[in-house]
Amino acid sequence: MMNSLGDLRRSHYSKEINPDMNDEEILVMGWTHEIRDLGGIIFVLLRDRDGLVQITAPSKKIETDLFEKLRKIKKESVIAVKGKVQGSPKAPGGVEVIPSQLYILNESKQPLPLDPTEKVRAEIDTRLDSRFLDLRKPSISAIFKIKSTMLHSVRVFLEKNGYLEINTPKLVASATEGGTELFPITYFEREAFLGQSPQLYKQIMMSSGFDRVYEIAPIFRAEEHDTLRHLNEVISIDIESSFMDQHDVMDVLEKLVIQTITDVTENCETELEVLGRDLQVPETPFEKIEYDDLIDMVNSKGVPIEHGEDLSRAAEKAMGEIMDGYYFITGWPTEIKPFYVLHEEETPEKSQAFDLMYKDLEISSGATRVHQHDLLVEKIKGKGLNPESFERYLAAFEYGMPPHAGWGLGAERFNMTLTGLNNIRETVLFPRDRRRLTP
């Protein structure tokens, strides 16, 4: 018979139990990770959010009914165990719990779709189909504990540096950056789209006088990529800063990356160890590579790329073989950047845009923005777009728009650099790509 929670309340998480608590009575709750029945003694590994605690049940020390009840527990059932702590050097955390009471809160169906103990590996699609079980694995939950720390660190850093958090619409009337990579939706009697980026809105906020803003929110791209680095819904970390140019916001980005890595190394030691990740705080300043020089570097690796082209995957891989760590690419051709990117005054064919790379992975892009109304209209037309479609956006530039700059940082790609993962789907609880819309 299943027990309701009733008055039961957890007294400790697994990581809070230590040998100094010898003979202290505690109540732990979690899932039955593993069960070993050696006849006269039963070992149950109970798993909670923070790790494992060993329940040790010698037949001679506990009641017969309790012993038999423990013997019948099914793997991944939810249980609560009351008992006394004893030191045990061979047990997880150096302690074990001798049970006095067992409560089965919910029994798990058998067989399991996959093995949360990771003794039997499952393919990525099997794992994502049963993500609720996959996330019980210590190596998988570690990814999201690191991601949580990363996002917290980002927020703290930006708040300390004078940035205000904003929330912009995700339902938009037209493309943010031009192009056709949009998900159309029915919005009452008309068509609307899922937002590609908060770009236009965060620029409008510069006209409002907010000075420095940031947003951490989903963006949607209807790209038909089917790679290990692309998804159709991701979390973007965006900032926009008045009275700054590309060099200023590059400095903000570099310092944010360093602070975040520092916080992760200090607060996620267990998770990094579980992942086998030796994360090091990189040296600064990050190297800056001009686009013109990058073309020569890529060609020197036998990968053909012409001036004016964006980086192909082959070109990114070539740069990954050359560069080890974080670096900026600057001096991008103006013609391949969006309309809101400002060009250099003396060399207008070059933009004031940059990308932040980690080896062969682009994790951020940013630029100094165009803040003059007439120039912005000219650039919109130059991209084959209709300025009338941007009427509300352009209005903000007619009544005192300050010079400004900003960037967007992909949270999932950044987490890939922290965890050492190669598949971006691993960094999302429930990834959305061109083939997957459930669970």
Q: Where in the chain is the domain with CATH 2.40.50.140?
A: 14-106
What pLDDT tens digit does each residue of the chain (439 aa) get? 456 788 899 999 999 999 999 999 999 999 999 999 999 999 999 999 999 999 999 999 999 999 999 999 999 999 999 999 999 999 998 999 999 999 999 999 999 999 999 888 899 999 999 999 999 999 999 999 999 999 999 999 999 999 999 999 999 987 666 666 899 999 999 999 999 999 999 999 999 999 999 999 999 999 888 899 999 999 999 999 999 999 999 999 999 999 999 999 999 999 999 999 999 999 999 999 999 999 999 999 999 999 999 999 999 999 999 999 999 999 999 999 999 999 999 999 999 999 999 999 999 999 999 999 999 999 999 999 999 989 999 999 999 999 999 999 999 999 999 999 999 999 999 999 999 999 9
Q: What is the CATH number of domain 14-106?
A: 2.40.50.140
Angle separating helix axes 246-267 and 138-160, nearest 10 degrees: 140
* CA–CA distance, 177 with 353 (Å, rounded to integer): 15
Topology of the domain comprising 134-427: BirA Bifunctional Protein; domain 2 (3.30.930)
Paired residues of 366 in beta bridges: 354, 407
Contacting residues for 148 by C-beta, under 8 A, at least 6 apart:
none
Contacting residues for 240 by C-beta, under 8 A, at least 6 apart:
202, 203, 205, 206, 212, 213, 214, 369, 404, 405, 406
CA 177 to chain centre: 23
* CA distances (Å), origin 85, targets 13, 49, 81, 94, 102: 13, 19, 12, 10, 15
Identify the CA nearest to 339 among candidates 363, 365, 375. 375
SS3 state at 160: helix
Q: Which residue shows structure tokens 């899932």?
A: 31
Contacting residues for 7 by C-beta, under 8 A, at least 6 apart:
none
* CA–CA distance, 214 with 395 (Å, rounded to integer): 22
78: left (phi over 0), alpha (psi -120 to 50) or beta: beta
Q: Are 291 and 272 in contact (CB under 8 A)?
A: no
Q: Where in the chain is the domain with CATH 3.30.930.10?
A: 134-427
* CA–CA distance, 41 with 127 (Å, rounded to integer): 33
* CA–CA distance, 334 with 364 (Å, rounded to integer): 18
